[in-house]
Amino acid sequence: MSSLIVGAALFVCSAYVGFGICDLYKRRSAFFDALIEYLDSLERGISYAKTPLPKLTEDFAADKKGELFALLRKFAGDIRAGQKTEFKSPIFSAYERRRVVEMLDSLGKYDTDTQLTELRRYRALFAPTREIAVKKYSTTGKLAAKLGVLVGIAVMLALA
CA distance 95 to 119: 18
CB atoms within 10 A of CB 14: 20
pLDDT recorded at residue 26: 95
Q: How much is the pLDDT for 122?
A: 93
Alpha-carbon torsion, ordered 116, 118, 124, 128, to 10 deg: -130
pLDDT number for residue 95: 92
At 157 the pLDDT is 87
Q: Kindly list the averaged pLDDT for each block of 10 residues, start to end, along the chain of length 160.
A: 84 94 94 94 81 82 88 87 85 91 87 88 94 95 94 87
- Single-letter code of the amino acid located at 108: G
Residue 98's pLDDT is what? 92
What is the pLDDT, as a whole number, of residue 77?
A: 85
Task: Kindly list the distances between the CA atom of residue 159 and the CA atoms of 16, 18, 100, 145, in Å, as whole numbers in the listed order.
Answer: 19, 20, 47, 22
